[in-house]
Amino acid sequence: MRMRGKFLTFEGVDGAGKTTQCDAVAQALAARGVAFVRTREPGGTPLGEELRGLLLHRAMEPITEALLMFAARREHIAAVIEPALARGQWVLCDRFTDASYAYQGGGRGIDTTRLDTLAQWVQGALQPDLTVLADVAPELAQARRARVREADRFEAEALEFFLRVRAAYRARAQAEPQRFIVIDGARSPDAVTAEILQRLEPWLAAQR
Ligand code: TYD
């Protein structure tokens, strides 16, 4: 039977550099001949991408927002993530459930026990094997974002919101140190990539 693929997720406040790291890891895996699927949340399926359009641009109530995030996630897990892992492919996902705890929990103030219930329902035992948290001061992330693009509904939130998002991310990383690698998003991207790849090395060696 083929070995199950590894599930890697990339998290951080908007503008922290998680997408750059996801790109770099994708390149490194391709160079080593590891089969992988790269995807994102919210999104990753045709239905999920439609929900993403609503989530990023349409005003809605926080509970609605949380439910739609998990609805998109369910579709994504069933149609993309689980089948890929079962085929032995790695999955690189730009954001996953930790983002719901950070943004809907920390940012919007939704009770964590409610999110636990949704997570249990939607993903059962599925957890990332490794989560890269790009951690950077929200002030810096905000300045970076402002240089490159127009704000969506989340990015338009005040600094206070992002301070809560960051605190929630860090609390999750502290609670599960074996799953998370927390990187200082203010460091040079290449040094950060090298650190992530070092962490992946045992898994890569097992594939050879
Ligand atoms: P992202 O992909 O980082 O946006 P971009 O393409 O602009 O880099 O994420 C989209 C937004 O969705 C981001 O602001 C965080 C938010 N989000 C949540 O609030 N909860 C979630 O569960 C997820 C997956 C994302």
* Domains in the chain with CATH codes: 7-206 (3.40.50.300)
Q: Which residues of 101-111 are buried (b: 16+ CB within 10 A; e: fewer)?
A: bbbbbbbbebe
Q: Does ligand 1 have an atom closer than 6 angstroms to the CB of 118? A: no
Which residue of 13, 41, 64 sits with most ligand 1 atoms within 8 Å of its CB, as the best mutation to test the pocket?
41
Mean pLDDT in residue range 49-58: 98
The pLDDT-based confidence of 144 (bands split at 50, 70, 90) is confident
Nearest ligand 1 atom, CA 41: 24
Averaged confidence pLDDT in the chain: 95
Mean pLDDT in residue range 111-122: 98
pLDDT at residue 21 tops 80: yes
Percent of the chain with pLDDT strictly greater than 70: 100
| DSSP 8-state class, residue 157 | S
Residue 99 to residue 106: CA distance in whole angstroms: 9
Residues 6+ apart with CB under 8 A from 60: 54, 68
Residue 41 to residue 96: CA distance in whole angstroms: 6
Q: Does ligand 1 have an atom closer than 6 angstroms to the CB of 11? A: no
The pLDDT-based confidence of 12 (bands split at 50, 70, 90) is very high
pLDDT at residue 86 tops 70: yes
Query: 157, 140, 145, 147: which is closest to 103 by C-alpha?
Result: 157
pLDDT at residue 36 tops 90: yes
Q: What is the pLDDT of residue 1?
A: 61
Nearest ligand 1 atom, CA 107: 19
Please give the distance, rounded to the nearest whole angstrom, from the Cα atom of residue 55 to the centre of ligand 1: 9
The label of the residue with tokens 């439910």 reads 67
The pLDDT-based confidence of 71 (bands split at 50, 70, 90) is very high
The pTM (predicted TM-score) of the whole model is: 0.96
Q: Does ligand 1 have an atom closer than 6 angstroms to the CB of 103? A: yes
Nearest ligand 1 atom, CA 153: 14
Q: What is the pLDDT of residue 15?
A: 86
Q: Does ligand 1 have an atom closer than 6 angstroms to the CB of 14? A: yes
Nearest CA to ligand 1 atom 23: 99
Please give the distance, rounded to the nearest whole angstrom, from the Cα atom of residue 85 to the centre of ligand 1: 23
Q: What angle do CA 16, 21, 22 make, to 5 degrees?
A: 115
Mean pLDDT in residue range 61-89: 98
Answer whether the bond into residue 42 is a cis peptide, omega within 30°. Answer: yes
